[in-house]
Amino acid sequence: MILTGMLVVGGNLANALGFKHIQEEQRIKDLEREKLEAQLKYLKYQINPHFFMNTLNNIHALVDINPEKAKDSIVKLSKLMRYLLYEGDKPTFPLEKEIDLLNQYISLMKLRFDDSVKVSFTYPEVIPKMEVPVLLFISFVENAFKHGVSYQHESFIDISLEYQGDRLLFNCRNSCPEEKSFDKEGGIGITNSRRRLALMYGDDYKMDIINRDNVYTVSVDIPSAIKQV
């Protein structure tokens, strides 16, 4: 009887300890998730003001040069703002919306330049159903326009998105005029992008930067599903 009682007590104690361990693991996971969400929100809101500040500066430069283009730019910017106000509270965008946002932004930026600046953007005819980190790709494109365009020489910006298997491949190449120089890591935008990718995909992503022969290239390879570590 004593042995049986000890076994029962021991079994109950083991069950209680096991349940407590499961509760503690869940609590740690919840804390990590809350920390992750807070970090992603912080990084995203670092990007938004930077994006709008640069766009407003571009419009300001147009006001005296070409008032009609400036007006058109304001309309396009308002569309972008509405987009982000209603969709930008999430850490991710559907890829289709991200592409639409890129098209709007590129159209807005091209208003400032003449035909000496060649800009191309290619993406799948059938856009896959997947989520991507909000404003991830546009930060690279913004960087390309900011540093890759010269008023003295012909310039180019080539942007592409490809879907291969279950991977999305982003590539942005731009001229790198001698009078302008990119930081090796591209400044705060590149640093933030790396941190966001690591938070969302762990080790399952690639991001390469090459600055060679007056051409600056950013390549990103991500899976079709957000993993969030």
Q: Is residue 168 part of a domain?
A: yes
Could you tell me the pLDDT band of residue 147, with boundaries at 50, 70 and 90? confident
Residue 219 burial (C-beta neighbours within 10 Å; 0-12, 13-18, 19+): middle
pLDDT surpasses 90 at 149? no
Q: What is the pLDDT of residues 110-137, one digit of tens each?
A: 877 777 889 999 999 999 889 998 878 9
Give the mean model confidence (pLDDT) for residues 105-113: 80
* Closest by Cα among 148, 156, 75, 58 to 112: 58
Q: Is residue 6 part of a domain?
A: no
Tokens at residue 117, please?
Answer: 């600046």
Q: Which domain holds residue 114?
A: 31-223
- The 8 Å CB, 24+ separation contacts for 46-54 are 46/188, 46/192, 47/135, 47/139, 47/189, 47/192, 48/84, 48/88, 48/135, 50/188, 50/189, 51/135, 51/138, 51/139, 51/142, 52/77, 52/81, 54/142, 54/146
Q: What is the pLDDT of residues 34-60, one digit of tens each?
A: 555 555 554 555 556 666 777 788 788
Domain with 116 in it: what CATH number? 3.30.565.10
Q: Is residue 205 part of a domain?
A: yes
Q: What is the pLDDT of residues 90-103, one digit of tens each?
A: 778 889 988 988 99
Q: Is residue 155 part of a domain?
A: yes
Total of domains in the chain: 1
Radius of gyration in angstroms for the set of CA atoms belonging to the chain, rounded to a whole number? 24
Task: Give the percent of the chain with pLDDT over 90.
Answer: 20
